[in-house]
Amino acid sequence: MIRKKLTTLLALLALATAAQAQTADELFATVRTKVLQVKDYVADVNMKIDVAFMQVPMLKGKLYYKAPDKMKLERNGGISILPRKNINMTLSNLIPTGKVTVIDMGNTTLKDKKLRLLKVVPDEDNNGIVLTKMWLDEKELLVTHTETTTFNDGTVIMDLDYKNYNKYGLPDKVKIFMDLKEYKLPKGVTMDYNDVLEKTDKDKTAKKQKGTIEIKYLNYTINKGIPDAIFAAAKKGSE
């Protein structure tokens, strides 16, 4: 009798656990909703650009973002614009919107963390995204690693670390890896250093080069509203 009751209890627990587990589609939808809840933010940032053919000092300033595709870096001591072409520096623009096909690749381990891997394929043209692979912390509903293949910028890989803004899905640190042959660095970021610090000639820089951008977010002001004029005023230097 006791054994029968124990078996029944275990079966009920198994059903409850299965009911709580989200399908791949549900998990992706939940995480996407969490990320897209952020409509705008202003953050104090430190930005480090590491490329083979150029030495760029640490950049410090304020980063402005407004969904879906506006971004501006206001440097300490000057103003730089991150053009629309480079909007994939934000997680929200690496997650396809609209109709998608989600493929569950199961559980995996990355950097000693147990994560769930999803492949997401847009059903229609979506910000140039061909495929996004997402490594997810299911418990915290956070994206810790992405590999996004796009038409224009090749494959962009992103590592994300979280601490203080988990409920918004906003990282404290992002490291972006990209192919610089495909990915155009913002002119406003590099213009002060082009004449004196480039190490190679045009032929060498035209070759396939890898680079990283590391952004540390010191704080955020979230969803307080940012006027479009903030971005329009400095649009001239963006290309």
Better-predicted residue by pLDDT, 186 or 39: 39
Strand, coil or helix: what is 127?
coil
* pLDDT-based confidence at residue 5 (cuts at 50, 70, 90): very low
| Proportion of the chain above pLDDT 90, given as a percent | 44
Question: What's the confidence (pLDDT) of residue 14?
Answer: 40
149-177 pLDDT, tens per residue?
A: 888 778 889 999 999 999 999 999 999 98
> Residue 7: pLDDT above 60?
no
Residue 8 has pLDDT above 70, yes or no: no
Nearest alpha-carbon partner for 165 in 227, 231, 228, 91: 91
**3-state DSSP assignment of residue 172:** coil
Token pair for 114: 């147990």
Average of per-residue pLDDT values in the chain: 78
Residue 184 has a pLDDT of 52
pLDDT, residue 45, reads 95
Closest listed residue to residue 177, CA positions, set 15, 3, 50, 86: 50
pLDDT band for position 237 (cuts 50, 70, 90)? very low
Q: What value does the mean pLDDT take over residues 185-202?
A: 44
Q: How confident is the model at residue 88 (pLDDT cuts 50, 70, 90)?
A: low
Query: Is 55 in contact with 124 (CB distance < 8 Å)?
Result: no
Question: Computed over its alpha carbons, how large is the radius of gyration of the chain?
Answer: 21
**Total-model pTM:** 0.77
Structural domains in the chain? 22-229 (2.50.20.10)
Question: With bands split at pLDDT 50, 70 and 90, how would you rate the model's confidence at 82?
Answer: low
CA distances (Å), origin 224, targets 40, 208, 209: 7, 41, 39
Spell out a b/e string for 135-170, using b for 16 or more CB atoms within 10 Å of the CB, else e: bbbeeebbbbbbbbebeebebbbbbbebeebeebbb
Mean pLDDT of 200-226: 76
pLDDT digits (tens, 9 = 90+) for 108-121: 999 899 999 999 99
Half-sphere exposure of 230 (CA within 13 A, CB side): 18
pLDDT beyond 80 at 229:
yes
77 band by pLDDT with thresholds 50, 70 and 90: confident
> What are 201-211's pLDDT values in tens digits?
444 444 456 78
Burial label, 173 (beta-carbon count in 10 A; 0-12, 13-18, 19+): middle
Q: Check: CB of residue 43 under 8 Å from CB of residue 220.
A: yes
Question: How confident is the model over 42-51, as pLDDT tens digits?
Answer: 999 999 888 7
Question: Residue 167 gets which letter from DSSP?
Answer: G
In whole angstroms, what is the distance from residue 237 CA to residue 114 CA?
Answer: 43
